[in-house]
Structure 1
Amino acid sequence: MRLLKVATCNLNQWAMDFDCNLNNIKDSISRAKRAGAVIRLGPELEITGYGCEDHFLELDTVTHAWDCLKQILAGDWTDGILCSFGMPVIRESERYNCQVLCMNRKIIMIRPKIWLANDGNYRELRWFTAWKQKYQLVDFQLPPHVAEALSQKTVPFGYGFIQFLDTAVAAEVCEELFTPVPPHAELALNGVEVFMNASGSHHQLRKLDLRMRAFIGATNTRGGVYMYSNQQGCDGGRLYYDGCCSVVVNGDVVAQGSQFSLKDVEVAVAQVDLDAVASLRGSISSFQEQASCKTAVSYVTAPYKLCKPFHLEEPISCPLKIKYHVPEEEIAFGPACWLWDYLRRSGASGFLLPLSGGADSSSVAAIIGCMCQLVVKEIENGDEQVKTDAIRIGQYTDGQFPTESKEFAKRVFYTVYMGTENSSEATRTRAKKLADEVGSWHLDVRIDSVISALLTLFQTLTGKRPRYKLDGGSNAENLGLQNIQARIRMVLAFMFASLMPWVHGKSGFYLVLGSSNVDEALRGYLTKVIDSLYGSAMDLFFWLNSAINLLLMFFIYFKYDCSSADINPIGSISKTDLRAFLRWAAVHLGYPSLTEVEAAPPTAELEPMRSDYTQLDEVDMGMTYEELSVYGRLRKIFRCGPVSMFKNLCFKWGSKLTPSEIAEKVKFFFKYYSINRHKMTVLTPSYHAESYSPDDNRFDLRQFLYNTRWPYQFRKIDELVNELNGTKVPLAESAENKPGILSDQVGGMGVAAAGAGNPNVGL
């Protein structure tokens, strides 16, 4: 038997914080060595942090990375252990995303990434070059100060593997695993038995299964030990890297780290038998045949043995049942861990949430409650870093620290109910109940006097006082009155966040949390719109094509309401998923009032209530949340324009709706999507959790100025409707037998189908 002990890591790195990252790396090496591991794998770009983005274009970033690596190699960290470190490297005039493989205080080889992640949230081609000399290893000249410190001038650079005396080891970096022809396929044929995948993979709802199946598939028919390391936590942006470091042997998972955790360092260790790899490969005829005519891959020889002979001191790691979280748990733990990192690294003293008693803001309150529960649990488990951060943020003195989640929430979480004459007693009561259950410092504020003062000012200036439509006012008056309430809440939220710590004798400031969901962002249901004025401004703009009218358009088309905040933990989570989360959290987080919240119909409560009228969100939007989820997935995930969306929905909804009805729905959606697109340019930074997020910043790169009439596309839809009405095509035919038509993963009219979506989108 050739016994090999390996260690892989979850590290909570922080982009551009080299001290933090270096300490975590050293800690992980120490833990791996104490466990007896001879291979240690860390995350992609772990020295700099993965999310440096345009900082990668600065020479300082690369120089600092070399300084950190030199510090590691100058000590005894790599003595007797192969370590793979992720960092940017400049060779000649090109910048590469590299794994630097080191052992015994020397660099054995540098492996540049050959396939870069360049879609969705990833823009690696903006900062790095892919290594294109695939079957070539070249000499790389180390920076002079590094060469002097290591007494090593050059190192092999390129695509290849390391041949030890008793096994072969190779790197496969993140995205490369998910390519049509991944490197591990030919590396396995060249005798590589251990694959090290350093990754920077973000959390997305229902995504982990795709990742785990890729690890299993990589070794199931080829054999091998597949090591996977990942970042875990918020490294400075919208993404939460969800860890789940793993070791897979011949298709069986034998070690798995946590997916959500407050720990800065987590190391998963496994002892494997490499003879089991050789035995599997030798028993597969097709593997033998393909290996006999393989394309040779370059390698570097290393005069070391990694394996131990047969012994009974420690057992071989056995297959494990993979740990998956249900989506409701993912919504609880992912944003909670992201918020904790944001809180402890931003210098803030806590969070403030405008709590309306509705589903969205109540979901955010429950997530903060979950965060407080996780903090207390980790302190009980002996995590000194979490304890230190909690004492500082909660401003504990005299040796005190959090021992109860509600008490900790009282120190770091304010909730504010800002009611008006249009608010109901039901929402006020729900907000108060939930605040008591979570433990927040709750304020109940009436803001009618502030609104009245603004209306009086307006009346003084214009001689007119706007009225609600129910009281005889126009659409413009009705919408204006609603927007005043929303924007006053935004102003008051930021005022309370900056001044309430002062009121209570605390230092620091609080971050304002947003609570708009992904479906509302897609529809632009953040403030109300003045359709006639916006249409007129658009007509004028296209006619005159002048900057003045462009400014007029933005002036008329309001934004910056109470959806504006510092960060938003649910900004890319669907309404359907949030309602399921509320039901789950009522039981599993111990907040029973959430059951009442989930059962209540969504309403903005910005218009007066009458015996025969109650304002409802879905009525205001002109579409249901379930429909919005379907539109969102078709638009983003399946890249449908208006015409393609119409065709697909004819197959999905044809048994319930006529082509004309479907056409009107598609036109209505695209009209309001394009009208509201500019709001995405200033959308509050949100936790990324759903692959149809319309976030303009990096994920959904589309223009924000549209011809909202979509004349060509809508005309094509009308032509198709006429054809379908004339030919009587059966629209309810199964989509599964039609090439190019979406299957049930898109969702139909029902809540379950639209909300569940495709469980395996994104990488």
Structure 2
Amino acid sequence: MRLLKVATCNLNQWAMDFDCNMKNIKDSISRAKQAGAVIRLGPELEITGYGCEDHFLELDTITHAWECLKELLLGDWTDGILCSFGMPVIKGSERELRWFTAWKQKEQLDDFLLPSDISEALAQTVVPFGYGYIQFLDTAVAAEVCEELFSPVPPHAELSLNGVEVFMNASGSHHQLRKLDIRLRAFIGATHTRGGVYMYSNHQGCDGGRLYFDGCSCVVVNGDVVAQGSQFSLKDVELVVAQIDLDAVASLRGSISSFQEQASCKSKVSSVAVPVSLCQSFKLQISPSSPRKIQYHSPEEEIAFGPSCWLWDYLRRSGASGFLLPLSGGADSSSVAAIVGCMCQLVIKEIAEGDEQVKADAIRVGHYTGGQFPTDSKEFAKRLFYTVFMGSENSSDATRTRAKVLAEEIGSWHFDVSIDGVVSSFISLFQTLTGKRPRYKVDGGSNTENLGLQNIQARIRMVLAFMLASLLPWVHNKPGFYLVLGSSNVDEGLRGYLTKYDCSSADINPIGSISKQDLRTFLKWAAVHLGYSSLAEIEAAPPTAELEPIRSNYSQLDEVDMGMTYEELSVYGRLRKIFRCGPVSMFKNLCFKWGPKLTPAEIGDKVKHFFKYYSINRHKMTVLTPSYHAESYSPEDNRFDLRQFLYNSRWPYQFRKIDELVQQSRDERVEVDGGMGGIVAAGSENPKAGF
């Protein structure tokens, strides 16, 4: 029996903060050694941080990475343990089309010339570079970086036939709702049919951008998960250790005749021989790690924990003292409030479990003195979370009450502010300037007047939010500044159903990439599992902006204003982004999806209506508040949706094609109905005639 103890880790790295990153790397190595591991795997680009982006084009970044690696190699950190470190390197003049270049020379390993100061320090001029594996006396180990696992012909397939038993995947995989299963199925599939040990390491936390890296480092043996780290955590370093019996790998491979057949005629892969043994011999008191049940979170839990951990990292690393949220009492802003409350609960939980780093950060952020530290989530929320209900004459008592009750449940410092006086001043100023006073539509005004009056309220709220965030800490003798939180969801961004520079304009937005449907289910979950019972009533209320006057015969509703439902918006978003549909292909897809309920003409009208408003409002995405990324159809133009912001919103060519297809379906229907004696006439007054 060849026993091998391995360690992989979740690290909360920070792009371009080399001190922070080195501290976590060293901590993970120390813990791996203490656990008796002989292999330590860290995440991709762990030395620099993953999200450096165009900093990777700066030579300083590469230089600092080499300096950090030298520090690790010259110390005793790597003594007695095989370590995998992630960092960028430059070989010759090769670069990626943006940051990195894939290595394509698979025939043999190259000699990589070390930088001169590294060479002098290590007394070594070159190192083997390229595609290959390390052959130890008792096993073979190889690396497969991140996306290679998901490629059509992954390296591990060929390397397995060359005798590699242990694969190390250093990754930088970000969180998306319902994504973890795809990742884990890939690890399991990599070793289920060909045997092997698959080690996976990942970043965990916000490393400086919109992404949250969701950890879940794990070890898989012959298709079974034997060790799994957390997906959401406030810890800076989390180690995952497993004891492996490599003879189990050899046994499985020996039992698969097709594996033996293909291995006998394999293409030879280059290797580096290392005259060292990694394994221990059989010991009765040491047992291999057993298969375990995979831990998955529900989408509601992912919405609670992912953005909460992201907010905590952003808060403690930005130097801010807390958050301010315009809390309307509606579903979106209440979801954000609940996420902040969840963050406070997670901090208290980690402190209670003895995490000294979280405790130190909480003491600093909450401005505790005299040896005090937070022990209650509501008390902690009071120190770092302002909520503000900015009511107008158009606000209902119901939403005002819901905002107040939720704030009490979470523990935030809550304000109820009337903006009517400021709105009236703006309208009076306009009237003095132009001689005209705009009216709401329900009072006889035009659409232009109606929209203008709504936008005044929305933009006043944005100005008020930032004023309070900057001055309230001063009023309460608190040092620092507060970050303003936004609360527009992904569907509203896609439709453009938000005012440019209103409350959608904030410092950061934890729900900006989450759909309205997912937020509704989250509110139901959070009412029970986070203990904020008022969220159930908030979820049940119909979505409304409350920017128009309430009348006995009229109440403003979001879905009526938009001309489409939130459910429809989610469908449009996935077809447009994930399935890369333009107007015509979206129309065709929806004819199959909605055909039993709607006529082609109705579907065509819906598609045109969506693309009209999507393109009219696309410019709003250029100033969208940086949002936590959770949904793959996010319309944010910074990274996730690289499309222009000036469109011909009439889409003349595409809409004409849709009209032609609608007419074609009518003609085909006429032919069919004609053959049946003309029972149903095309173009009937009933839009669903014949369907």
TM-score by length of 2: 0.97
Partner residue, 1:624: 565
Partner AA of 1:232 in structure 2: Q
Q: Identity percentage over the alignment?
A: 84
CA distance in 1, matches of 2:352, 2:603: 55
Q: Is 2:243 aligned against 1:271? A: yes
Q: Deviations over 1:246-265 (max 9, x none)?
A: 00000000000000000000
Partner residue, 2:415: 443
CA distance in 1, matches of 2:619, 2:240: 45
Q: Deviations over 1:493-524 (max 9, x none)?
A: 00000000000000100000000000000000
| 1:90 partner SS | coil
Partner residue, 2:228: 256
Computed over aligned residues only, the root mean square deviation of the Cα atoms, in angstroms, reads 1.0
Partner residue, 1:652: 593
Return the offset for 1:314. Answer: 2.6
Partner residue, 2:390: 418
Partner residue, 2:523: 582
Q: Deviations over 1:216-274 (max 9, x none)?
A: 00000000000000000000000000000000000000000000000000000000000
- 1:730 to 1:92, Cα distance in 2 relative to 1, 3 A: farther
Partner AA of 1:305 in structure 2: S
Partner residue, 2:272: 300
Q: Deviations over 1:370-398 (max 9, x none)?
A: 00000000000110100000000000010
- How do 1:399-410 and structure 2 match up within 5 A? 399-410=371-382
CA distance in 2, matches of 1:595, 1:187: 53
Q: Is 2:545 aligned against 1:604? A: yes
| 1:89 partner SS | coil
- Asked if the contact 1:517/1:573 (under 8 Å) is kept, the reply is yes
Partner residue, 1:725: 666
- How do 1:222-371 and structure 2 match up within 5 A? 222-371=194-343
Partner AA of 2:605 in structure 1: E
- How do 1:313-712 and structure 2 match up within 5 A? 313-527=285-499, 559-712=500-653
CA distance in 1, matches of 2:483, 2:99: 31
Return the offset for 1:147. Answer: 1.1
Unpaired runs of 5+ residues, structure 2, are 673-691
Partner residue, 2:168: 196
Partner residue, 2:679: none
Return the offset for 1:728. Answer: 2.8
Return the offset for 1:456. Answer: 1.1
- How do 1:40-59 and structure 2 match up within 5 A? 40-59=40-59
CA distance in 2, matches of 1:163, 1:229: 22
Q: For structure 1, which segment, 138-147 or 64-73, has the greater mean C-alpha deviation from structure 2 after superposition? A: 138-147
CA distance in 1, matches of 2:48, 2:293: 34
Partner residue, 1:139: 111
Partner AA of 2:534 in structure 1: S
Q: Deviations over 1:392-444 (max 9, x none)?
A: 00000100000000000000100000000000000000000000000000000
| 2:40 partner SS | strand
| 1:269 partner SS | strand
- Asked if the contact 1:135/1:160 (under 8 Å) is kept, the reply is no
CA distance in 1, matches of 2:56, 2:92: 16
Partner residue, 1:60: 60
| 2:98 partner SS | helix
| 1:86 partner SS | coil
- 1:729 to 1:10, Cα distance in 2 relative to 1, 3 A: farther
Partner AA of 1:384 in structure 2: E
| 1:511 partner SS | strand
Return the offset for 1:730. Answer: 13
CA distance in 1, matches of 2:97, 2:512: 27
Q: Deviations over 1:121-155 (max 9, x none)?
A: xxx64011111102220111111111111111110
CA distance in 1, matches of 2:106, 2:208: 33
| 1:237 partner SS | coil
CA distance in 2, matches of 1:730, 1:350: 67
Q: Deviations over 1:28-79 (max 9, x none)?
A: 0000000000000000000000000000000000000000000011111111
| 2:88 partner SS | strand
Partner AA of 1:219 in structure 2: T
Partner AA of 1:467 in structure 2: R
- Asked if the contact 1:347/1:508 (under 8 Å) is kept, the reply is yes
TM-score by length of 1: 0.87
Return the offset for 1:313. Answer: 2.8
Return the offset for 1:312. Answer: 2.3
| 1:430 partner SS | helix
Partner residue, 2:29: 29
- Asked if the contact 1:271/1:315 (under 8 Å) is kept, the reply is yes
CA distance in 2, matches of 1:405, 1:314: 42
Matched residue count: 672
Partner AA of 1:626 in structure 2: E
CA distance in 2, matches of 1:39, 1:313: 21
CA distance in 2, matches of 1:428, 1:579: 19
Partner AA of 1:676 in structure 2: N
- How do 1:120-139 and structure 2 match up within 5 A? 125-139=97-111
Partner AA of 1:333 in structure 2: F
CA distance in 2, matches of 1:144, 1:167: 33
Q: Deviations over 1:467-506 (max 9, x none)?
A: 1111111111111000000000000000000000000000
CA distance in 2, matches of 1:465, 1:718: 42
CA distance in 1, matches of 2:600, 2:640: 32
| 1:76 partner SS | coil
- 1:316 to 1:647, Cα distance in 2 relative to 1, 3 A: same
| 2:160 partner SS | helix
Return the offset for 1:729. Answer: 10
- Asked if the contact 1:9/1:42 (under 8 Å) is kept, the reply is yes
CA distance in 2, matches of 1:315, 1:408: 44
- 1:492 to 1:646, Cα distance in 2 relative to 1, 3 A: same
Partner residue, 2:141: 169
| 2:73 partner SS | helix
CA distance in 2, matches of 1:312, 1:364: 53
Partner AA of 1:357 in structure 2: G
CA distance in 2, matches of 1:409, 1:312: 52
Partner AA of 1:705 in structure 2: L
CA distance in 1, matches of 2:670, 2:153: 41
Partner residue, 1:109: none
| Runs of 4+ off more than 6 Å | none
| 1:275 partner SS | helix
Partner AA of 1:500 in structure 2: L
| 1:5 partner SS | strand
| 1:598 partner SS | helix
